[in-house]
Amino acid sequence: MPITQFLERNARQWPDDVALVELNPAVQVPRLTTWKEYELIQPSGKTAFRKEITWSVFDEKANRIANMLIARGIVKGDKVAILLMNCLDWLPIYFGILKTGAIAVPLNFRYSADEIEYCVKLAEADVLIFGPEFIGRVEEIADNISRRRLLLYDGPLCPSFAEDFVSLCDNYSSHAPEVEVSDDDYGAIYFSSGTTGFPKAILHKHSAIVHSAIMEQKHHGQQKDDVFLCIPPLYHTGAKMHWFGSLVSGGRAVLLTGTRPADLLKAISDEKCTVVWLLVPWAQDILEALDSGELKKEDYQLDQWRLMHIGAQPVPPSMIKHWMDYFPNHQYDTNYGLSESLGPGCVHLGVENVRKVGAIGIPGYKWECRIVDENRQPVAQGQVGELAVHGPGVMICYYNNPEATREVLDEDRWLYTGDMAMMDEDGFIYLVDRKKDVIISGGENLYPVQIEDFLHTFDPVSDVAVIGLPDKRLGEIAAAIIQIKDGYTCTEEDVNEFCKALPRYKRPRRIIFADVPRNPTGKIEKPKLRERYGASFLVAAENEVTGHEKA
């Protein structure tokens, strides 16, 4: 069955129960982009606002969107792109698209105008629905993309180059359209992170979307009375697929704008959140705020918070151990996945396996995993190789890119992730690094994640990234970009002394004190770091074989 049937079931069984809450602690005036007759705006102080919709309203909104799109000529198999910040409209728009039989195409809100144009054309989108934050970027490319495409604006004061999405939807029926959608139909196109050039378009069927929802509920046991706090951007598979657990169980979800530790804990306390998915930087910020005394646990109602899970990047084991010092009763899970596997869960630790903190876990529900060498043959237990996954969430293809598809997907539909990993004697998988991020220094393979995990145990370190920099003699050397915690001081000598506990060949040969850039899903933007520091150290590498340089 398509994922839309879960929404329709919830609207029948729990029509008046709250489905979604939008909570913005930073502004006083709500973003006026939704149907006002449906909105329940509840101010919660001078510096915040709160909006909510019920399951019946959620479904009715999705139906109005679907009927409007169909009336404008959208048919099964067409593509509709979404370019919105997280808001109360996002998920109804997504489900409205799916109800037409069209393919939903979420876009990264950080895309430049050129990237928006590229992705809209690559996906062959027939419609672009965009919000007020993107008027400038869309206006730059409107003449290039408007031909044969509808540009629909979800916000106040519609620009002249688009049509008013809100007023259009108000005029259409709130009953479900009569469109038959099956599991075998295409449902969504997501985009890769685009770490090397422009992103690739990833095509998935409805069956993969449904499986991700069922898997999430099985992994984390969401029940009707659970409340999920959703913070990451909804365009990404991670946030949406974790919210699917609430969809399956009929539970409430809170869309929080902002990531300050105080705002996170207040939202968890005020909304009685029980399940929270965090990214590493946010968890670190909470720990630092608690360590410094800036925040105190006793000032918040947190007893109901039962599960903290984390993913989207390697997770330092030291951070989780520190987390358990503050929250010893929390269930904890790590989730691994990629957009090509329709988000997190193809590997997960499991709440019952906290003793294995540091591992990304075991194969998720109905998934298989193996670790292979360069010839795609299984390696021996304990050896490092590339992680390959096989299961119901594997993509159909990179849309309009058969060559790239063949590079990562074999004839048996095993997906080769590009992540280097190893498996222990109990079958638990440990992520070692990205295949392309491995540093080869003097013939030795260095795995940055292992060095990063070690440096995360050093008290002054708030965040760290290890990259390879050119070296005339060794080819590459490991450089550690270290972000220091507020209130701490640290020198190169301090870091070098701490690193004496590492084998000599694993010790960083360059120490750089700087902020560590991360994308909206928490991944370190290592291409940016290589571009920023690689050229400046190339000259030094020709004159200096070893030593340290502070930037």
Q: pLDDT (tens digit, 9 = 90+) per residue, 439-492?
A: 878 667 787 888 888 898 999 999 999 988 887 767 788 999 999 998 899 999
Integer angstrom CA distances of residue 83 from 4, 20, 192: 21, 19, 16
Q: Please tell me which residue, 521 or 332, carries the higher pLDDT value.
A: 332
Residue 499 lies in a domain: yes
Residue 460 lies in a domain: yes
Pick the last residue of a domain from 211, 243, 259: 211
What pLDDT score was predicted for residue 85?
93
Residue 196 phi, psi dihedral angles, 5° rounding: -130, 95
pLDDT for 391 beyond 60: yes
Residue 335 lies in a domain: no
What pLDDT score was predicted for residue 26?
67
Residue 519 lies in a domain: yes
Both tokens assigned to 56: 């019946």
What pLDDT score was predicted for residue 504?
82
Least confident of 56-70, 254-268, 380-394, 425-439: 425-439
CA dihedral 479→502→355→459, nearest 10 degrees, is -70
Average the pLDDT over 147-159 and give the result. Answer: 88
Neighbouring CB atoms inside 10 A of 92's CB total 27
494-498 own/partner pairs: CB under 8 Å, 24+ apart: 494/460, 495/455, 495/458, 496/548, 498/455, 498/458
The total number of residues shown for the chain amounts to 551
pLDDT for 265 beyond 70: yes
pLDDT for 313 beyond 70: no
What percentage of the chain reaches a pLDDT higher than 70?
Answer: 90
Residue 28 lies in a domain: yes
Pick the last residue of a domain from 192, 211, 230: 211
Both tokens assigned to 37: 């007759």
Rounded to whole angstroms, the Cα distance separating 451 from 333 reads 23
Residue 60 lies in a domain: yes
What pLDDT score was predicted for residue 479?
92
Q: Where does the pLDDT of residue 324 fall: very low under 50, low under 70, confident under 90, or very high at 90 and above?
A: very high
pTM of this structure: 0.82
Contact 415, 393 (CB under 8 A): no
pLDDT for 544 beyond 80: no
pLDDT for 531 beyond 90: no
Q: Where does the pLDDT of residue 290 fall: very low under 50, low under 70, confident under 90, or very high at 90 and above?
A: very high
Residue 424 lies in a domain: no
Domain that holds residue 188: 4-211
Pick the last residue of a domain from 211, 236, 267: 211
How many structural domains comprise the chain? 2
| Radius of gyration for the alpha carbons in the chain, expressed in angstroms and rounded | 24
- Residue 174 maps to which CATH number? 3.40.50.12780
Residue 550 lies in a domain: no
DSSP-derived secondary structure letter, 361: B
Give the highest mean pLDDT range of 27-36, 222-231, 334-343. 222-231
The closest alpha carbon to 283, from 333, 219, 233, 356, belongs to 333
Rounded to whole angstroms, the Cα distance separating 284 from 268 reads 17
The H or E element that residue 218 is part of is helix 206-220
Integer angstrom CA distances of residue 414 from 341, 347, 390, 508, 550: 10, 14, 5, 35, 44
Q: Please tell me which residue, 314 or 69, carries the higher pLDDT value.
A: 69
Residues 6+ apart with CB under 8 A from 270: 44
Neighbouring CB atoms inside 10 A of 383's CB total 11
Average the pLDDT over 7-28 and give the result. Answer: 90
Average the pLDDT over 425-445 and give the result. Answer: 80
- Residue 446 maps to which CATH number? 3.30.300.30
What pLDDT score was predicted for residue 236?
86
Average pLDDT, the chain: 88
Q: Please tell me which residue, 108 or 441, carries the higher pLDDT value.
A: 108
Least confident of 206-210, 243-247, 466-470: 466-470
